[in-house]
Amino acid sequence: MSKISRRDFLRLAALGLGGVALNRYLAACVSQPTPEAQPTRALPVATARQAPTLASAQATPASPTYEPATAAGTSSSNPDLVVARNGDPETLVRRAIAALGGMEKFVPQGASVIVKPNICVASHTYEYAATTNPWVVGALVKMAFEAGARTVRVLDFPFGGTAAEAYVKSGIQEQVQAAGGEMMAMAGFKYVSTQIPSGKFLKQTDVFDEILNSDVLINAPIAKQHSMARLTLGMKNMMGVVHNRSALHRNLGQAIADLNSLIRPKLTVIDAVRILMANGPTGGNLNDVKQLDSIVASADIVAADSYATSFFGMQPGDLEYIKIGAEMGLGRSDLSSLKIEEFSV
């Protein structure tokens, strides 16, 4: 009988996994799988339809390792950052990514793609702006396949129930499956101990194996207020791929930046269709929701986060992880140095 590879074993084992039990709520809006002994892996640094509008929301007028994302994109003819406004979620995503040069700029033919949204809660639906808009995620899955992706999987590690419950409640599973993608539970045994060569505070952490082994990571956070980090945006959304999130809270700004020096999304698309202005990260009150009908997209995660602070009346320097990320060379926070294209669809 032929010998089965570790990767094939993990895939087969995952088929019978079922729901994953989630632990206590952390302020970072994540929970921890059951600790297990993990192998050590060292990586180089380079490693729809329109969503309904609720009257109660506040309307506002208008390779196995990752390559480092370039701070200013790869073509002088394309903008570094795009902001699309005033359209349905899928149109906003399509127009924004087209302006960056198209999804094929980020997703090669035959690539395995992971889309990482924020699926924070299993208790309420996307209208409450605690989870990424499902039509935004669905559009990204469609576009990745259109660009030639071989597989597109969507994952996060929510709390307050099983991943299966949160995937359904958020509406994301329906849109992902309709687009031909796969929802994936983050099994505890699939985290591997990984060194962070550029880390200043966080020098090692356990990272979900599929994140390390996929060709392309697309980051799809929702913009929302956060009780500890002030805002959850693209950089903080990467906390959802690690095992021991509580360790990051001891020095949150530096730890988030350290993690982002290891995990480098090819593309960050910030969902600002509906944003959570207060009582984040979980929300639960529609009075805290503000409707912007906007999308921010960039290959530069620091730049995307820097622009998104303006939705909350803040500046990039108001968030520690943005300041540190820029200092570490992970991207640019000085928006005046960027080529920014803004339009209504």
pLDDT digits (tens, 9 = 90+) for 195-225: 999 999 999 999 999 999 999 999 999 999 9
Q: CA angle, corner 207, sides to 156 and 4, nearest 5?
A: 95
Looking at the predicted structure, is the pLDDT value of residue 38 above 80? no
Residue 124, pLDDT above cutoff 70: yes
Q: Which residue has the higher pLDDT, 120 or 184?
A: 184
Determine the longest span between alpha carbons in the chain, in angstroms.
Answer: 65
Instruction: Provide mean pLDDT across the span 236-250.
Output: 87
Q: Which of 13-27, 135-149, 319-333 has the lowest mean pLDDT?
A: 13-27
Q: Give the model's pLDDT for residue 243.
A: 86
Pick from 101, 81, 89: nearest CA to 341: 81
Q: What is the mean pLDDT of residues 274-302?
A: 95
pLDDT of residue 77: 87
Asked if residue 81 has pLDDT above 90, the reply is: yes
Q: Which residue has the higher pLDDT, 266 or 3?
A: 266
Residue 247 has pLDDT above 50, yes or no: yes
Asked whether the beta carbons of 262 and 217 are under 8 A apart, the reply is no
Q: Mean pLDDT over all residues of the chain?
A: 83
Residue 288: pLDDT above 60? yes
Asked if omega into 281 is within 30° of 0 (cis), the reply is yes
pLDDT at 120 > cutoff 60: yes
DSSP state string for 210-225: HHHH-SEEEEEPEEEE
- Residue of 121 and 222 predicted with greater confidence: 222
Q: Is-above-0.75 flag for pTM?
A: yes
C-beta neighbour count of 110 within 10 angstroms: 10
**Cα Rg for the chain, rounded, in angstroms?**
18
Instruction: Return the pLDDT at 66.
Output: 31
Which residue did the predictor score with more confidence, 289 or 27? Answer: 289
Place of tokens 């021991």: 244
Report the pLDDT averaged over residues 186-202. Answer: 94
| Domains of the chain, start order | 34-344 (3.40.50.11440)
Residue 31: the pLDDT is 45
Pick 312 or 160 by higher pLDDT: 312
Would you give the DSSP letter of residue 123?
Answer: S
Q: In this structure, what DSSP letter does residue 5 have?
A: P
Structure token digits, residue 203: 């020098």
Q: Which residue has the tokens 């791929």?
A: 241
Which helix (H) or strand (E) is 41 found in, with range? strand 40-42
Task: Specify the pLDDT at position 9.
Answer: 42
Residues 6 or more apart whose Cβ sits within 8 Å of residue 337:
none
Sign of the alpha-carbon torsion through 144, 145, 151, 156? positive
> Is residue 178 predicted with pLDDT exceeding 60?
yes
In the numeric block, the tokens 């094939």 are attached to: 8
What pLDDT was estimated at residue 56?
A: 37
pLDDT at 244: 82
Query: What's the average model confidence in pLDDT over 96-112?
Result: 98
Q: CA separation (Å) from 165 to 29, 38, 43?
A: 16, 27, 33
Confidence of residue 160 (pLDDT cuts 50, 70, 90): low
What pLDDT was estimated at residue 106? 98
Classify strands 204-208 and 191-195 as parallel, antiparallel or unpaired.
antiparallel
Q: Where is pLDDT greater, at 86 or 42?
A: 86
Residues 131-143 pLDDT 10s: 999 999 999 999 9
What mean pLDDT comes out for the span 216-240?
95
Q: Which residues on neighbouring strands pair with residue 231, listed in sequence order? A: 225
Going by C-beta distance under 8 Å and a sequence separation of 6 or more, which residues neighbour residue 235?
A: 256, 257, 260, 301, 302, 305, 321, 322, 325
Tokens representing residue 226 in the block: 């956060």
Q: What is the 3-state secondary structure (H, E, C) of 260-312?
A: HHHCCCCEEEEEEEEEECCCCCCCCCHHHEEEEEEEEEECCHHHHHHHHHHHH
Which of the four pLDDT bands, split at 50, 70 and 90, describes residue 76?
low
- Measured CA to CA in angstroms, residue 148 lies from 110, 111, 152 at distances of 6, 7, 10
pLDDT of 260 above 60: yes
